[in-house]
Amino acid sequence: MMKRIYMDNAATTQIDPEVVEAMVPYFKYKYGNASSLHSFGREAYEGIEKARKQVAELIGASQNEITFTSGGTESDNMAIKGIAYKYRDRGKHIITSQIEHPAVLETCNFLESVGFKVTYLPVDKHGLIDIESLTRCITKDTILITIMHANNEIGTIEPVREIGEIAHEMGVIFHTDAVQTVGKIPVDVEKLNIDLLTLSGHKIYGPKGVGVLYKKDSVQIQPLIHGGGHERGLRSGTENVPGIVGLGKAAELSKNRLPDDSAKLTVLRDRFINRVLNEIEDSFLNGHPTKRLPNNAHFRFSGIEGESLILSLDDKGIAASTGSACSSKKLAPSHVLMAIGLNEVQAHGSLRISLGRNNTKEDVEYACDSLVEVVNRLREISPLWGKGRVTAAASEGGRSED
């Protein structure tokens, strides 16, 4: 069988065998409803509360500040709409960035349609927001700042500690989508001045369909899902016990492995980036050169169509992504790549490699060898390559700029 190498860990991760093992009893034997008073119910309840502790410890929170949801998308909705509805009498202005995940952007778009005002902050060519511009945007009407911890496409890490500091000075609530950073870089809600934080199970080697919204005790939100009053009334519905238990285990493993994982990934990422930039002409790194996720390498290649690149790599058993998983089935160029100033052709010639805990040095060497070969072959048959090449390279201003 052909070797298969998974390098699309920003889209989802392989569930850890220890996580599966932790979940199995909750499918097979511990199937009680966590609200029931009998021993079956208590077993399920205890599973959930252990998971709550495991997640709280991963991000420096208290257990009562952790709410389980159906995933990152729901947590983003719950935070943003929850604050908007709760504090609408205080103000109707929300600040976010142009490079947020659709779960944030579309929620903000929706809120605009029901009378809120949203500022979408631009980013620089590396994908960083500007703290001074942010500060200037805050008005008496501002109730929420929601800016992601790290971008899921280009891997740029935003200055959330400073953002939180300014938010608090101005009396504004701060939410961050930390789906891509939790488990990869240290995330401590106290140190980073975070009031609300989103994380997702399947991005940290846990199960799909389960996530968390951290909410600081002193901050209130309007619940979105009404019913039997589960999760302290914040999120009704019988709990996804196996999923929650799995997320708890994944959080515990992430906490224990973070220093090793992060160091190992950084080495592999840098090897990947160096080989590509050195061995493929007219290749460029998208995102910030240093303030980036330890597992993210995002490139653009002149004269290449991202889709063809993904399919050719797939033929070699390598799973990567063009743009982002969410936009790769649409024809529109990624909103993130447009926001960092790429044109449509450049955006379509981009490739995201997101490494994972299971990738080895051999995987990276094989993927780089394959990428070099595939890019050269695609360029030979590309109408975009050749004549346009000199201008493409010149207009990029050279590699050093990146």
Ligand X SMILES: *Cc1c(COP(=O)(O)O)cnc(C)c1O
**Closer to ligand X at the Cβ: 22 or 179?**
179
Rounded least distance, CB 171 to ligand X, Å: 26
What is d(CA 152, CA 149) in angstroms, rounded to the nearest whole number?
9
Which stretches does DSSP call E strand in 90-184? 93-97, 117-121, 142-146, 173-177
Where residue 135 falls (left for φ over 0; alpha for ψ -120 to 50; beta otherwise) is alpha
Rounded least distance, CB 169 to ligand X, Å: 26
Tokens 């280009």 correspond to 154
Phi, psi of 355 (to 5 degrees): -80, 160
Structure tokens at 321: 């992504």
Question: By C-alpha distance, which of 65, 27, 60 is closest to 244?
Answer: 27
**Closer to ligand X at the Cβ: 180 or 283?**
180
**Closer to ligand X at the Cβ: 234 or 371?**
234
User: Is 326 assigned a catalytic role?
Assistant: yes
* Active-site residue, from 108, 137, 326, 368: 326
**Closer to ligand X at the Cβ: 296 or 302?**
296
Tokens 């975009």 correspond to 384
What is d(CA 397, CA 319) in angstroms, rounded to the nearest whole number?
30
Rounded least distance, CB 103 to ligand X, Å: 5
State the residue number with the nearest CB to ligand X: 72
**Closer to ligand X at the Cβ: 70 or 382?**
70
Rounded least distance, CB 302 to ligand X, Å: 28
Give me the residues that bind ligand X (CB under 6 A), please.
Answer: 71-73, 101, 103, 148, 152, 177, 179-180, 200, 202-203, 211
Rounded least distance, CB 208 to ligand X, Å: 7
DSSP-derived letter for residue 221 is -
What is d(CA 364, CA 272) in angstroms, rounded to the nearest whole number?
6
Furthest-apart CA atoms within the chain: distance in Å = 75
- The answer to whether the beta carbons of residues 88 and 110 sit under 8 Å apart is no
Active-site residues, by number, are: 326
